[in-house]
């Protein structure tokens, strides 16, 4: 008996943040507009832009001043994350009317498994058009839809033609359409990987597909094998059920301070805040980290990362902070001020996965510390915000030093899950 032919959709909202902002401000639809971070807090980058702004060459993640140099009349709009989450949830609810297999990929993208729901690619195109029309009529947004027999090619299809378009890569014509595309178009081929592949004259997806798998494995490691399989149409990853929550591979938090940090005390205070946040979210997900990693960016925007394997998995802020502090002291020589830092726990394990007991009392986290952390989390969840703060968080912060930052939260940390 032959297995049923897979039909996978990938739906990508066009210019999502900017499009959501234009729902309440339709006058911005025909002028160059961008959603931007807070320049005063030094989060001054472009987060999203509309179609008129794209025509000026404005790109996501470039500095505000760069975008304004391309388009002096660019209208900048503040980001409203709660709006983006709201519309994202409503869109997923609509997709769930077609299938119960709806897997988010960020706020503005989703995979839908339409296998067995659509008879063939022609019917799939008709349903994609219906979804696109509903998105316009019900939400005043637009989306592009990619249709193929696996998730990777479906996503490639949604990127292929924008805005408000449908692209099909069927199981009979995908090679002639996909293999000529730049290898950088393939999912998870970033700038660094594309540059490395270019050194061996792998410029297109077809070049990668035709390269010996064993050689790619030796050249790029196990990730190279995955990319080779993608290029050859061998992705068979399932689409998760609607409501499925992916277990994060890492939990991190970073911040850019209003002014460069120039002392160990400033760094330690910021590490305290970030470590508290990371530890709290680890406990929320019933996870512990076995590796602590720090990221440091100096005033010249040079970045370096250091990491350390912990003796035992942890969700305790004190342990995370101590590791982060030591990593920084071991490797930073204070030749320049620090613009931003981040703390991340990786190689996560479940809280019930067991752990090796230590022969040394000072390596053990007392049971009362675990109970205390849980009690603090429960109180903060019950009464909202951070009712109970660590001493580092509660310490007053000079407005002169931190500008417009609020004393209890001067850094506006940026949460990061992967």
Q: What is the pLDDT of residue 380?
A: 55
Predicted TM-score of the model (pTM): 0.69
pLDDT in tens, the chain (418 residues): 345 789 999 999 999 999 999 999 999 999 999 999 875 655 578 999 999 999 999 998 888 989 999 999 999 999 999 999 999 999 999 999 999 999 999 999 999 999 999 989 999 999 999 999 999 999 999 999 999 999 999 999 999 999 999 999 999 999 999 999 999 999 999 989 999 999 999 999 999 999 999 999 999 998 999 999 999 999 999 998 877 766 778 899 888 888 889 999 999 999 999 999 999 989 988 999 999 999 998 888 788 889 999 989 999 999 999 999 999 999 888 888 998 899 999 999 988 765 555 544 544 555 555 555 555 555 555 555 554 455 555 554 333 333 322 222 333 344 554 5
Q: Of 177, 200, 219, at which residue does a domain stop?
A: 177
* Residues 6+ away with beta carbon under 8 Å from 70: 56, 57, 58
From the candidates 21, 103, 109, 393, give the one annotated as an active-site residue. 109
Look up the CATH number of the domain holding residue 335.
3.30.1490.100
Q: Are residues 386 and 376 in the same domain?
A: yes
Look up the CATH number of the domain holding residue 225.
1.10.150.20
Tokens 């009317």 correspond to what residue?
A: 97
Q: Are residues 21 and 61 in the same domain?
A: yes
Q: Are residues 221 and 261 in the same domain?
A: no
Q: Are residues 314 and 167 in the same domain?
A: no
Q: Of 177, 194, 213, at which residue does a domain stop?
A: 177
Q: Of 222, 243, 264, at which residue does a domain stop?
A: 243
Tokens 């990693």 correspond to what residue?
A: 293
Q: Are residues 239 and 298 in the same domain?
A: no
Number of domains the chain contains: 3
Q: Are residues 288 and 202 in the same domain?
A: no
Q: Are residues 397 and 255 in the same domain?
A: yes
Long-range residue pairs from 393-399, CB within 8 A, at least 24 positions apart, any chain: 393/272, 393/273, 393/276, 395/269
Q: Are residues 145 and 221 in the same domain?
A: no
Q: Are residues 117 and 204 in the same domain?
A: no
Using DSSP's 3-state secondary structure scheme, residue 132 falls into: helix
Q: Are residues 192 and 274 in the same domain?
A: no
Look up the CATH number of the domain holding residue 49.
3.30.70.270
Decide: 111 and 239 in contact? Cβ < 8 Å: yes
Checking phi first, is residue 334 left (phi over 0); if not, alpha (psi -120 to 50) or beta? Answer: left
Q: Are residues 256 and 232 in the same domain?
A: no
Catalytic residue at 109? yes
Using DSSP's 3-state secondary structure scheme, residue 239 falls into: coil
Q: Are residues 267 and 375 in the same domain?
A: yes
Q: What is the pLDDT of residue 383?
A: 52
The residue range of the domain holding 233 is 179-243
Q: What is the pLDDT of residue 377?
A: 55
Residue 404 burial (C-beta neighbours within 10 Å; 0-12, 13-18, 19+):
exposed
């Amino acid at each position: 008996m032959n297995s049923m032919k897979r039909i996978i959709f990938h739906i990508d909202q066009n210019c999502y943040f900017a499009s959501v902002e234009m729902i309440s401000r339709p006058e911005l639809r025909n002028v160059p507009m961008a959603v931007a971070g807070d320049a005063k807090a030094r989060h001054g980058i472009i987060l999203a832009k509309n179609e008129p702004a794209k025509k000026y060459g404005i790109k996501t993640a470039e500095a505000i001043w760069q975008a304004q140099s391309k388009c002096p009349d660019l209208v900048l709009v503040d980001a409203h994350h709660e709006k983006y989450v709201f519309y994202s949830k409503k869109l997923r609810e609509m997709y769930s009317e077609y299938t119960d297999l709806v897997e988010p990929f960020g706020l503005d993208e989703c995979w839908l498994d339409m296998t067995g729901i659509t008879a063939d690619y022609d019917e799939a195109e008709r349903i994609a058009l219906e979804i696109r029309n509903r998105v316009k009529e019900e939400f005043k947004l637009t989306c592009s839809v990619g249709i193929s027999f696996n998730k990777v090619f479906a996503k490639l299809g949604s990127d292929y033609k924008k805005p408000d378009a449908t692209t099909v890569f069927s199981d009979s014509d995908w090679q002639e359409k996909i293999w000529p595309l730049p290898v950088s178009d393939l999912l998870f081929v970033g700038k660094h990987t594309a540059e490395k592949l270019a050194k061996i004259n792998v410029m297109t997806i077809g070049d990668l597909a035709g390269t010996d798998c064993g050689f790619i494995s030796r050249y790029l490691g196990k990730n190279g094998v995955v990319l080779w399989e993608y290029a050859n149409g061998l992705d068979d990853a399932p689409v998760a059920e609607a409501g499925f929550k992916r277990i994060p591979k890492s939990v991190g938090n970073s911040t850019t301070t209003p002014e460069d940090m120039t002392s160990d005390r400033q760094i330690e205070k910021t590490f305290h805040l970030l470590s508290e946040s990371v530890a709290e979210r680890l406990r929320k997900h019933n996870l512990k980290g076995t590796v602590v990693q720090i990221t440091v960016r100096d005033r010249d925007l040079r970045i370096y990362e250091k990491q350390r394997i912990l003796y035992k998995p942890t969700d305790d802020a004190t342990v995370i902070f101590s590791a982060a502090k030591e990593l920084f002291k071991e490797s930073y020589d204070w030749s320049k001020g620090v613009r931003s830092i981040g703390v991340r726990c990786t190689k996560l394990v479940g809280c019930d996965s067991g752990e090796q007991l230590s022969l040394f009392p000072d390596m053990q986290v007392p049971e009362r510390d675990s109970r205390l952390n849980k009690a603090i989390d429960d109180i903060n969840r019950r009464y909202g915000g951070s009712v109970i703060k660590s001493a580092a968080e509660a310490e007053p912060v000079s407005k002169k030093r931190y500008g417009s930052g609020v004393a209890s939260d001067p850094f506006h940390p940026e949460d990061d899950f992967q």
